[in-house]
């Protein structure tokens, strides 16, 4: 019984330890921003697939996103590898990414409802 308590204490202590990012790694917020741009461009390409060959356009989008964030391909891939191999950090980035996508969807719904013409209410 005492071993269980010690195991729980050790697990809680380890999980509460502050995890700092190495100096050469993008912040979690910055990584989430970059990944959001990739996600949005992939969604756009998938949606417009019938109009444009996505395989031809993806490298263009990829390079523009890296350029926008002042990243090289090797720096981005190194950061992605770091986050993918460190779930504690990646979970935070992924949560930010999901929250950002949900927020964008909510904004689109509100904008659509504001831009659609209002139908007059019928009186009985």
Residue 1 lies in a domain: no
Domain of residue 98: give its range: 29-111
Residue 9 lies in a domain: no
Closest CA to 86 of 5, 4, 10, 31: 31
Residue 119 lies in a domain: no
Whole-model pTM: value is 0.70
Domain count, the chain: 1
Residue 123 lies in a domain: no
Give dist(CA 108, CA 115) in Å, integer. Answer: 10
Residue-level pLDDT, tens digit, the chain, 124 residues: 555 544 445 454 444 444 688 888 999 999 999 999 999 988 888 776 655 576 778 888 899 999 999 999 999 999 999 999 999 999 999 999 999 989 888 888 888 888 876 666 566 5
> Contact at 8 Å (CB) between 19 and 88?
yes
Residue 37 lies in a domain: yes
Give dist(CA 57, CA 53) in Å, integer. Answer: 6
Residue 18 lies in a domain: no
Residue 76 lies in a domain: yes
Residue 22 lies in a domain: no
């Amino acid at each position: 019984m005492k071993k269980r308590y010690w195991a729980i204490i050790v697990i809680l202590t380890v999980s509460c330890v502050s995890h700092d990012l190495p100096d050469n790694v993008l912040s979690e917020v910055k990584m989430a921003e970059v990944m959001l741009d990739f996600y949005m461009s992939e969604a756009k390409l998938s949606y417009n697939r019938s109009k444009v060959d996505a395989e031809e356009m993806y490298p263009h989008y990829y390079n523009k996103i890296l350029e926008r964030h002042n990243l090289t391909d090797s720096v981005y891939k190194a950061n992605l590898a770091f986050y993918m191999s460190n779930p504690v950090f990646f979970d935070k980035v992924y949560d930010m990414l999901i929250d950002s996508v949900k927020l964008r969807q909510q904004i689109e719904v509100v904008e659509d409802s504001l831009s659609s013409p209002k139908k007059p209410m019928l009186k009985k």
